[in-house]
Structure 1
Amino acid sequence: MIKKIVPASSLKGEVILPPDKSISQRAAIFSLLYDGISEVGNYSSAQDPQSTLNCVQQLGAVVQERDGKLVIKGTGRKQLKTPEKDLDCGNSGTAMRLLSGVLVGAGISTKLVGDASLSGRTMTRIINPLEQMGAHILARNLAYAPLFINRNEPLKPLKFDLPIPSAQLKSCILLAGLFGEEMTQVIEILPSRDHTERLLNLDQKLVQGRKIISASLSDEIPEQSYTIPGDFSAAAFWLVAGAIQKDAELLISNVGLNPTRNALLDILGEMGADITIENERMEGAEPAGDIIVKGSDLKAVDIDPKMIPNCIDELPILAVAMLFAEGTSTISGAEELRHKETDRIMAISKMLKAVESSFEEKEDGLIIHGDPEFAFQSAEFESFHDHRIAMASAVLSLKGIKESSIKDAESASVSYPTFWKDLDKLRVES
């Protein structure tokens, strides 16, 4: 689908975000592991969480919808079923990596498959530690899906130093560890998303600046009954769109405010964005609130590489904010972007080049020369079938002088099915 975007003179109104994908997928998997019934409100209808939900049903979860909530009857750790067919993770790296941990822990032999995009993403980081725990995993070219998972020998405990700040890798190891008689530990130096630790109430200790998270069969899986907050990564597009549009004012309701996810708030605050948070509260184990963003005068920023894991998914849209900030901004230490749904550093560069902006691409990031008065006529954007690139291009298109277009714009539905509808609702015509 080619989406035509008409420029806007401003943005006004309220945004109801899609549910958080990361929390939704964990809610499904953890409800499977809970020996009882969980009621999950506001479960995501996006493709990735639905793929995960289908997989947990094949593993034995019974899922029904009641009063707008998902009622999930879990099997507990000892009653998981061997799937009758391959587990199809679709485009979801979260599903493939987390379920790999569950399957290895439970000793279930099966095959995990995914779409072309997911099958092009390396799984080496999870294969190696899982094999140390006793698994035998066959992968295409030793690294790529499909993954044939088997474990014939007893599950071994693992003390694992997390080589990169990856919530998926961390969660994979901890989920396998939940099936072990002896304790498995993940040692984290740089913080990554902590949804797994929160939702499973796992033991955590801070020792000499390192976080040690533990998991074993002795950990009780808590009931997963809560309402899932809105996706902060989806809110990011409106935070930037509101900040760069003159006289804009947006209310973004029910946003997840997990401190391991929301570095963008601090970065935009440093850039001078007019952002306030109201109605702060807890949704189960996760903090949430409502955010108001107004049109702002932005200044350039250099992102500390230590913050990158906490804003990795927001970097495509942050690059758009940098384009309209006074001065030169830098993103570095973000080489992980090259291993997402697409090479996102390359994709961001193509987006910036399409509007003839001034920037330099680096192996691990970008240097962007911003200008609050930056203007372009129109552009043809490539999404590279990447939802975040498609939506970042849309926010940039709103600042054009004439109509722009985005190829393969339907990719936005991977994480935000109503994005285009919301954009039309909030636009104030030029």
Structure 2
Amino acid sequence: MSKPLKSSQAMPLSGGVRVPGDKSISHRALMFGALAVGESRIEGLLEGDDVLRTAAAMRALGAEVERLEDGSWRLWGRGVGGLQEPADVLDLGNSGTGARLMMGLVATHPFTTIFTGDASLRSRPMKRVSEPLSRMGARFFTREGGRLPAAVVGTDNPLPIVYELPVASAQVKSAILLAGLNTPGITTVIEKEATRDHTELMLRNFGATVDVEYLEDGRHAISVTGFPELTGRHVVVPADPSSAAFPAVAALIVPGSEITLRGVGMNPLRTGLYTTLQEMGADICFQDAREEGGEPVADLLIRASRLRGVEVPAERAPSMIDEYPILAVAAAFATGTTRMNGLSELRVKESDRFAAVMRGLVACGVKVEEEGDTMVVHGTGAPPPGGGTVAVNLDHRIAMSFLVLGMASGQPVTVDDAEAIETSFPGFETLMNGLGAKIETV
């Protein structure tokens, strides 16, 4: 059943909140805890549908996973190489991260795993993962185009590889490194552009040997040594910087707003949006910088600001690939033109986000153009007309982005189905309304 929501002009947003835990780190904490020896405890785990699907999958692969009364999670792992064949199909719902990383986990275990997901996930390409994992010895049986459902027949004689990523992808990098944990020797991934490094940081924290070598031509090689003994750890998950982007932009565009977002992850490979917003003139202060669970975090004080158009370089895309939809909303309110370069990866996310953002902006009266892999948004320095109904296509970030646009546009904005928001930001509507938004069921 669909869940249409309407967002109308908000009062000035105010207050302090903590958005849900980081989705990328939550997935990895569950997986690495399942591979560790002994008990792991996770605090701040994102309890959205994507992550809960990963928790269920790790149970199916033999780990003990339970939620405790205090809201933390406890895992008792199986050790590297100790996963067991699941009795049923693993349904990862909407989670590309869960599916791709888990394919890496099982590729070097000698059993068969069948993966499926919702209509959105079943439409997303998996060849970028299956191709390198096949080189390591796994076999893949998929639908046409390498799409789910897919059967992964793991190998009992895995081979280490050196693999250069054809496109920047933390998911593909991570899948290969996870397969390398249960592979003799050293498995190496070479990146042309740095992608989020949560896998490397957390694997080291659990006891793996992960080396990074910076090559002369600007590339760098990430290597993992096979058969480590991972040991259970206490993991504190920071607030998700991608989720924080929505109230952050809302506070920037709703006149008179001032909010604080607490404990937001500030990994430098995830903060491209905040760099870009500051270049646009955003009033964002980073307070009480600290480290939690091996990751840098800070509190963000954000005040309403007059934004100006900027040129966003293509090399920044890996550090903000999930944030382009909400950046496009900010650009709609800015004075002048914003050019976002290097957005090819947006076409293969939960939906074709490039097309979805453009359709949504047009529906809300914003002038936008496509120039190859560049999106050009023409802001006017004033609230856009709004009034549109935006097709979400099961994409949580499209839904949240256009609900934010409706908070400051001339007329309310409606999204046709906000159900997918639960995959990454449970309680989004309640949190935003608590700050002063006016989001309601249609």
TM range, normalised to the smaller chain?
Answer: over 0.9
Aligned counterpart, 1:205: 213
The answer to whether the 8 A contact 1:104-1:135 is kept is yes
Aligned counterpart, 1:409: 418
Deviation at 1:210, TM superposition (A): 2.0
Out of 98, 101, 112, the position equivalent to 2:101 is 98
1:126-141 residue pairs with structure 2 within 5 A? 126-141=129-144
Aligned Cα root-mean-square deviation (Å): 1.4
Out of 355, 369, 391, the position equivalent to 2:364 is 355
Aligned counterpart, 2:354: 345
Q: Per the alignment, do residues 340 and 417 of structure 1 end up closer, same or farther by CA in structure 2, a change over 3 Å counting?
A: same
Render the CA deviation track for 1:162-194: whole Å, top value 9, x for unaligned.
111100000000001111111110111101110
1:71-90 residue pairs with structure 2 within 5 A? 71-90=74-93
The answer to whether the 8 A contact 2:67-2:73 is kept is yes
CA distance in 2, matches of 1:428, 1:25: 30
- Bigger Cα displacement from structure 2, 106-115 vs 373-382: 373-382
CA distance in 2, matches of 1:336, 1:152: 30
Structure 1 unmatched ranges of 5 or more: none
Q: Per the alignment, do residues 123 and 241 of structure 1 end up closer, same or farther by CA in structure 2, a change over 3 Å counting?
A: same
Q: Secondary structure at the match of 1:117?
A: helix
Q: What TM-score does the superposition give when structure 1 sets the normalisation length? A: 0.97
Render the CA deviation track for 1:328-359: whole Å, top value 9, x for unaligned.
11012101101111111111111111122222
Q: Which runs of 4+ in 1 moved over 4 A?
A: none
CA distance in 2, matches of 1:378, 1:116: 28
Deviation at 1:113, TM superposition (A): 1.4
CA distance in 2, matches of 1:30, 1:65: 16
Render the CA deviation track for 1:51-110: whole Å, top value 9, x for unaligned.
000000111111123332111000001321111111111111111111111111222322
Aligned counterpart, 1:261: 270
The answer to whether the 8 A contact 1:247-1:295 is kept is yes
The answer to whether the 8 A contact 2:307-2:335 is kept is yes
**Which residue type is aligned with residue 168 of structure 2?**
P
Aligned residues: 429
- Bigger Cα displacement from structure 2, 297-306 vs 239-248: 239-248
Q: Secondary structure at the match of 2:375?
A: strand
Q: Secondary structure at the match of 2:339?
A: strand
1:361-376 residue pairs with structure 2 within 5 A? 361-376=370-385
The answer to whether the 8 A contact 1:316-1:392 is kept is yes
- 2:396 counterpart of 1:387: yes
Out of 16, 19, 24, the position equivalent to 2:18 is 16
Q: Secondary structure at the match of 1:10?
A: coil
1:23-422 residue pairs with structure 2 within 5 A? 23-66=25-68, 67-152=70-155, 154-201=157-204, 202-208=210-216, 209-376=218-385, 378-422=387-431
Q: Secondary structure at the match of 2:105?
A: helix
Q: Secondary structure at the match of 1:221?
A: coil
CA distance in 2, matches of 1:409, 1:81: 36
The answer to whether the 8 A contact 1:179-1:216 is kept is no
Render the CA deviation track for 1:208-261: whole Å, top value 9, x for unaligned.
222211113243424331211111001111221111121110100111111111
- 2:427 counterpart of 1:427: no
CA distance in 2, matches of 1:72, 1:399: 44
Structure 2 unmatched ranges of 5 or more: 205-209
The answer to whether the 8 A contact 2:247-2:432 is kept is no
**Which residue type is aligned with residue 286 of structure 2?**
I
Deviation at 1:370, TM superposition (A): 0.9
- Matched-pair identity in %: 38
CA distance in 2, matches of 1:403, 1:127: 44
Render the CA deviation track for 1:260-283: whole Å, top value 9, x for unaligned.
111111101111100001111111
Render the CA deviation track for 1:145-170: whole Å, top value 9, x for unaligned.
11111134611110001111100000
CA distance in 1, matches of 2:415, 2:71: 34
Q: What TM-score does the superposition give when structure 2 sets the normalisation length? A: 0.94
